[in-house]
Structure 1
């Protein structure tokens, strides 16, 4: 094969840069689109928006890349009123890059072949050489420094790509990511306003004579690190308070903030330290009830100091305990730490207080999506996960596809061959020229690759020891990306919705990342009642032990677990629950999610130029009826988290004085020319 041919193969080898993981380069202002079915009344005037990584600098497709990387891109469907009939909605599609400092710099410097920040894949790879990691960090520092030189149109002050989630608080829509503070965007056009400091956002219409107070991070040399904010802030639906934590790798490691709505008596709390955290961690989410907050200090470390111990920057150590810090909402100094078996948790589903007969909080309960490994962190970067410490070496001499499993006769079966519609080559070795013959990682035993809807109960009794009285799974089926009715947030929700897969082993689902073909509804009240009658084994037990196939086959209308399976070759993204305008029950509402038909991929697993996605609206009560499908003008890459914004939220947004804009193509100064030469050198 020619050198050009080899280069072309190399450029399409990374599974998270091809198929429907591949970035979309075109942005679209709000345009009218077609739909089939009926649009429920409660959607009229509102908007569904989903965030996700979409790398701008992407000419080197064979580079190290991770699904968590990429510049933030918002993709939304706005159910505006029809111009011809104001009583009927007219869906509009819009997608826009979030113009962070990094995004604007990437657009400005077209000679960059790879993103400014090092890929998470580089930081988590146990085989990455120290010199590669150091150079990646040094290169990023050079590019950030050059942005301060003459000729640069955007100074890089914050290193966040804002690609994780989006929420609404006190008149602002805010996009989030762990590497910086939230950034404000404007609905429905999804234009970027500016960074939110905890007081105001850059670009807000504010009183210029008002004294500016320190925001997230406070002041000092390392204040920029203390700004790093969870991708999942929580907003109390009753008080309007927004709760956030900020995690970095310098002691005390975690700070905590509560931002009230303006013109309320609630006091602002910024940068309060959470005592006795064990170190720098990859913290993604946390739990919040009406009266308490739960910080997740898990054995998934994130610290450059790991390099001093011959470990990658991101390392999973499940032999160390999982720690949960529970404290009153406004008093992190009163934290009580609970310890149990090591695990990894990226998303919490529901947190609520439990009261005793005198009306005092006796315990805090939490539902999470609990993983028994951190394989997702590695596989989403096309890296073979390190072996689990408790892994039983079964058939170690036999190499298997990542989608393979053992049957009762211990014969190897390849699910890729059993499911020909699965075209995207996942976890292929990027150095090989054929995805069909590429060596792939061994699949781990399913007990080591669980991701289940899991229940914890933290007792707050005045005991000298802190005790987790209950810890077990509600169901054994894969369960991730949870959502619930916003009316039940911070209280005990009956129904939790999530994403699942028909693969027998969740090891395959982890490798597939967002390749979701099942949407699940769990009746947690019923499942916890069953647990009281027949208590599962602590830590490893489960209330409902049925497989996803048995759940899908159930025709019982009162089944505590209901599941909707997508048609063959169709894959969904995270669903978002939208309640009815006047709901008659907690599940009276709809689930909104993007769907992609992979029959649009070519034989090599790449998307055709005219590939398109749809937005589906599923009845959350029967988990059967797709009442509406909105046809989109382009595809929506598999991404992360979305949210629903009502018509009232859109109308009540705060005034904006200035929006961020794309960099111009004007000629640079002499200093800028020298800067451009250095940028071309570092690539």
Structure 2
């Protein structure tokens, strides 16, 4: 976005008393390129090589009514490591919606907290009338970054190194792409799902390493649902039908009000990766809602799935929130939802499900070494939330074999990002690498880039690198290895 436009738009944002338009959530409207960044502490290791990408929400125009942080326009941030040096750049994701609003000079779509009828133009996604901000998630597939929106959008591709805009994938289906598509690094496949308010309510698809849609099938559900994530093993994809979804009677009136139906079980659809609807096997489990999964793998007759179980999927309204934002703040507070690390086992022979709590602490936004996706793995890295806020101030490393864990906390006033695992060059084992994270520092009103050596986890950051501006907090991130990616081309084996 041109600098003169940025300056003109900056005055259009009025934070007021909104809890998510100030502090660590202050919108960033500046785009920069920065090379050879200043190291504040330590030194950049020579054995890290690749690209860290993180998506954030930054509203360009004043909201139509109440603003939800997930309404903000997508902005992708990139930090590239090579030969002991780091470069950084950030760009707005030029969605159809943002382009239309730039042309109009104002907001055109209502957000998650308002009636879609307020939108002045037709919208996208499962919600119907909202803007596809492509602001939730990012993965790297077929040599390109793919950004997505959590209530389903068209998806947008960018060069992962230059952040040059490359538009919508030609294979993007009518019902869109949900956030949390998955890339299998062993063969370059992208697995994705979408959901909608019309039958069959969900679809599952596979895009091959050449960026061609090779599989797309319905996953019939009893009605509109709100799935947020999926998982996969070597031979199966795992989708879900949780008892937290829009009230059907109110939805018929055009009102999107979420209810938790505590007497209904959670259901898991296990489908072969190139399977048909008739191949789906459904498993039942305790009622809950899960925002994010970790890994899944096959072990004998069982499929093992790890994720974050919510004890209270429909929490009570947040006390002390600004009027009109009580419910929003409750659904952004993991402490109110009670998100805890959990394991499910689905026995393909008996059809039975067993469950196990892995940690009683409030944790979410987990990461692991993606080279171990679909395999029995040992180490997981979870983010620690600030109570009451959608902000992170630490990480927990779990040894899932011994049950041990280690924790890192940031100093007061510093807030981290979702932190992917970056394998060390010539890594010797599973935890031989770094967590990579952007940090918003309210004490300095700036931002930093941190590396945490996972072999010396509790020692904290091995280096702190200054960024050229203060980042707004956001949602998801990914890591793409430089060994696989050169000049924007991701290489995969030919099998």
Which interval holds the TM-score relative to the shorter structure?
0.7 to 0.9
Matching residue of 1:39: 44
How far the C-alpha of 1:50 sits from its partner, in A, is 0.4
Unaligned ranges ≥5, structure 1? 1-7, 81-87, 123-132, 145-156, 199-215, 218-223, 356-361, 376-384, 388-399, 403-426, 432-437, 504-508, 528-559, 601-610, 656-683
1:279-333 CA distances to partner (integer Å, 9 max, x unpaired)? 2222221110111111111122248863337963444333332111112111142
How far the C-alpha of 1:67 sits from its partner, in A, is 2.1
SS, match of residue 178 in structure 2: coil
What's the Cα RMSD here?
3.2
Q: Quick check: 1:280–1:303 contact (8 Å CA) kept in 2?
A: no
Matching residue of 2:5: none
Matching residue of 2:6: none
Q: Quick check: 1:158–1:180 contact (8 Å CA) kept in 2?
A: no
1:660-683 CA distances to partner (integer Å, 9 max, x unpaired)? xxxxxxxxxxxxxxxxxxxxxxxx
1:329-357 CA distances to partner (integer Å, 9 max, x unpaired)? 111421111122221111100100112xx
How far the C-alpha of 1:71 sits from its partner, in A, is 1.1
Greater fraction helix:
1
Counterpart CA distance in 2 for 1:339 and 1:363 is: 14
Matching residue of 2:450: 616
Q: Quick check: 1:13–1:430 contact (8 Å CA) kept in 2?
A: no
Counterpart CA distance in 1 for 2:197 and 2:188 is: 30
Counterpart CA distance in 1 for 2:348 and 2:327 is: 50
SS, match of residue 15 in structure 1: coil
Q: Quick check: 2:334–2:362 contact (8 Å CA) kept in 1?
A: no
Q: Quick check: 1:352–1:490 contact (8 Å CA) kept in 2?
A: yes
1:196-231 CA distances to partner (integer Å, 9 max, x unpaired)? 133xxxxxxxxxxxxxxxxx43xxxxxx3x2x2121
How far the C-alpha of 1:158 sits from its partner, in A, is 11
SS, match of residue 108 in structure 2: coil
* Residue correspondence of structure 1 range 469-548 to structure 2 within 5 A: 470-501=354-385, 509=387, 511-513=388-390, 515-527=391-403
Matching residue of 1:587: 431
1:253 to 201, 222, 225: 201
Matching residue of 1:428: 322
1:43-91 CA distances to partner (integer Å, 9 max, x unpaired)? 24x2211002111113x5x9411122211101122235xxxxxxx4332
Matching residue of 1:467: 352
Counterpart CA distance in 2 for 1:496 and 1:191 is: 32
Q: Which moved more, 1:304-313 or 1:12-21?
A: 304-313
Matching residue of 1:149: none
Closer, same or farther in 2 for the Cα pair 1:28/1:447, shift >3 Å?
A: closer
2:337 to 433, 440, 449: 449
1:482-502 CA distances to partner (integer Å, 9 max, x unpaired)? 11012111112100101014x
Closer, same or farther in 2 for the Cα pair 1:17/1:299, shift >3 Å?
A: same
Counterpart CA distance in 1 for 2:75 and 2:116 is: 28
2:18 to 14, 18, 22: 14
2:273 to 319, 329, 351: 329
Q: Quick check: 1:50–1:643 contact (8 Å CA) kept in 2?
A: yes
Q: How many residues align?
A: 470
Matching residue of 2:313: 374
SS, match of residue 475 in structure 1: coil
Counterpart CA distance in 1 for 2:205 and 2:316 is: 35
Counterpart CA distance in 2 for 1:9 and 1:645 is: 34
Instruction: Work out which structure has the larger RCO, using CA pairs closer than 8 Å and 6 or more positions apart in sequence.
Output: 1
* Residue correspondence of structure 1 range 292-441 to structure 2 within 5 A: 292-302=236-246, 306-308=250-252, 312-333=256-277, 334-355=279-300, 362-374=301-313, 386=316, 401=319, 427-429=321-323
Counterpart CA distance in 2 for 1:619 and 1:64 is: 41
Counterpart CA distance in 2 for 1:75 and 1:233 is: 19
Counterpart CA distance in 2 for 1:14 and 1:158 is: 20
How far the C-alpha of 1:120 sits from its partner, in A, is 1.2
Counterpart CA distance in 2 for 1:628 and 1:196 is: 37
**Greater Rg by CA:** 1
Closer, same or farther in 2 for the Cα pair 1:274/1:441, shift >3 Å?
A: closer
TM-score for both structures, normalised by structure 1? 0.64
TM-score for both structures, normalised by structure 2? 0.87
* Residue correspondence of structure 1 range 574-653 to structure 2 within 5 A: 574-600=418-444, 611-623=445-457, 624-653=459-488
1:404-431 CA distances to partner (integer Å, 9 max, x unpaired)? xxxxxxxxxxxxxxxxxxxxxxx33369
Counterpart CA distance in 2 for 1:581 and 1:314 is: 45
Counterpart CA distance in 2 for 1:648 and 1:478 is: 35
Matching residue of 1:550: none
Counterpart CA distance in 1 for 2:198 and 2:254 is: 19
* Residue correspondence of structure 1 range 40-439 to structure 2 within 5 A: 40-44=45-49, 46-58=50-62, 63-79=65-81, 88-110=83-105, 112=106, 115-122=107-114, 133=115, 135-137=117-119, 139-141=120-122, 159-178=131-150, 179-198=152-171, 216-217=172-173, 224=174, 226=175, 228-262=176-210, 268-275=213-220, 277-302=221-246, 306-308=250-252, 312-333=256-277, 334-355=279-300, 362-374=301-313, 386=316, 401=319, 427-429=321-323
Q: Quick check: 1:240–1:261 contact (8 Å CA) kept in 2?
A: yes
1:572 to 416, 419, 426: 416
Counterpart CA distance in 2 for 1:245 and 1:349 is: 17
